[in-house]
């Protein structure tokens, strides 16, 4: 982890004024981490709701909060959209006339193909769009759910279109690295295919299975809760995630999700058939293969951390 992310030394600010449009779990975590590590000279927030604005100011992670998104972005050299993706177009329209020339507009949304399509048409010339996705979160929402350590040792994916100002991209990268993340760049299309399998479909499965349990008769439902073993409990945590945010994920990553879902359904039918026919070998060899994948994931995760940490320490020392 970099010295910034340990909190040892405040870094030089990367941005003079960072505006966060949306100050829930992710927006408030960014504010807390950026403030802790001195990554922005000033941090301004925007929320539509008075209650959220009051809560954010009481929690103390912002310098100022605005009800009007245009007032929030005025004079900012960085604007990060931290709202559900269904709000992007309306926010882009509202802020466009108030954006400072040369400002960087970025976001944290879980789907990336939709960002350029939804936001770019509204941006004035000279404003740089650098879409981003910190792959770190929880099932909780709102300003009180955030914490500065959320991003430490996790991956952030940036999906700038070809030709975007490299300095703008480098600044957004430095911001996430300063909060403790590892950063990788890829196309938005590739991001959306990868995240469909690693995040979006797993959430859909959790929503399905917990819904199935809740459709059972009352007595069975009570037992499901009482006897919840590891697997189902883990599903209920995921299925407790924000309904609006996840509605938007499935609406905006429709093609990739449907493609992966098709493959998943075919595999599920294959296992269903093996169970019906009593084909133990098929089941055992499938589970043996997936156990090896799990072990590979754990090993890769451990190995991955080390060179990244080492590189950052060498650079920062
Ligand atoms: N929850 C998670 O674990 C992760 C979420 N994300 C992405 O982060 C974004 C925000 O998610 P969270 O912080 O988890 O949600 P949240 O519900 O905790 O916060 C979202 C904030 O946006 C505000 N908002 C909603 N509609 C708005 C509008 N029209 N204009 C302005 N503000 C509006 C809400 O009032 C709230 O303060 C989403 O796009 C999501 O895909 C990315 C990584 C992880
Ligand atoms: O809580 C969990 O397990 C998550 O998977 C959090 C999460 C949710 C959405 C994202 O785009 C990235 C991370």
Interface ipTM > 0.85: yes
Rounded distance, CA 35 to CA 118, Å?
29
Is 29's C-beta closer than 6 angstroms to any atom of ligand 1? no
Nearest protein Cα to ligand 2, atom 8? 137
Under DSSP, is residue 43 helix (H, G, I), strand (E, B) or coil?
Answer: strand
Residue 147, pLDDT score: 98
Residue at token pair 């990553």: 253
Residue 227, pLDDT score: 82
Residue 315, pLDDT score: 36
Rounded distance, CA 104 to CA 126, Å?
9
Cβ atoms 105, 198 nearer than 8 A: no
Nearest protein Cα to ligand 2, atom 11? 110
Rounded distance, CA 125 to CA 250, Å?
31
pTM of the predicted protein model: 0.92
CA 194 → CA 8, 191, 299, distances in Å? Answer: 35, 5, 20
Instruction: Choose one of 20, 21, 24, 33 to mutate for the ligand 1 pocket test, by most ligand atoms within 8 angstroms of C-beta.
Output: 24
Strand partners, 185: 158
Q: Which residues of the chain have pLDDT under 70?
A: 1-11, 305-317
| Strand ranges of the sheet holding 40-46, from the earlier edge strand across to the other edge | 64-66, 40-46, 15-21, 78-81, 104-107, 128-130
Residue 316, pLDDT score: 36
Angle at 78 between CA 309 and CA 65, to 5 degrees: 110
Angle at which helix 201-214 crosses helix 243-252, to 10 degrees, equals 130
Residue 249, pLDDT score: 98
Ligand 1: nearest atom to the Cα of 49: 35
Is 26's C-beta closer than 6 angstroms to any atom of ligand 1? yes
Ligand 2, pocket residues at CB < 6 Å: 110, 135-139, 199, 238
């Amino acid at each position: 982890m970099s010295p910034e992310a340990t909190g040892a030394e405040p870094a030089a600010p990367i941005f003079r004024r960072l505006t966060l449009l949306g100050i829930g779990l992710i927006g408030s975590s960014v504010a807390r981490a950026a403030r802790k590590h001195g990554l922005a000279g000033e941090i301004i927030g925007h929320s539509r709701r008075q209650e959220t604005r009051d809560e954010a100011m009481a929690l103390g992670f912002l310098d100022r909060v605005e009800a009007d998104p245009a007032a929030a972005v005025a004079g900012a050299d960085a604007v990060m959209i931290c709202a559900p993706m269904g709000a992007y177009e309306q926010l882009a329209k509202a802020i466009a006339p108030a954006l400072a020339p040369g400002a960087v507009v970025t976001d944290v949304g879980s789907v990336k193909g939709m960002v350029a399509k939804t936001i770019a048409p509204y941006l004035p010339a000279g404003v740089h769009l650098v879409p981003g996705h910190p792959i770190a979160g929880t099932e909780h929402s709102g300003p009180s759910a955030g914490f500065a350590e959320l991003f430490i040792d996790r991956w952030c994916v940036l999906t700038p279109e070809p030709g975007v100002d490299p300095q703008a991209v480098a600044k957004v990268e430095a911001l996430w690295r300063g909060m403790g993340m590892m950063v990788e760049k890829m196309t938005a299309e590739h991001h959306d295919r990868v995240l469909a399998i690693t995040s979006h479909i797993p959430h859909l499965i959790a929503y399905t299975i917990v819904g199935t349990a809740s459709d059972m008769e009352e007595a069975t439902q009570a037992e499901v809760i009482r006897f919840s073993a590891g697997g189902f409990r883990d599903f209920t945590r995921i299925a407790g995630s924000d309904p609006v945010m996840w509605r938007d994920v499935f609406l905006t990553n429709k093609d990739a999700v449907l493609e992966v879902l098709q493959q998943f359904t075919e595999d599920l039918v294959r296992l269903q058939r093996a169970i019906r026919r009593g084909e133990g070998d098929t089941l055992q060899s499938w589970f043996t293969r997936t156990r090896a994948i799990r072990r590979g994931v754990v090993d890769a995760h451990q190995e991955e951390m080390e060179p990244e940490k080492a590189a950052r320490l060498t650079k920062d020392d």
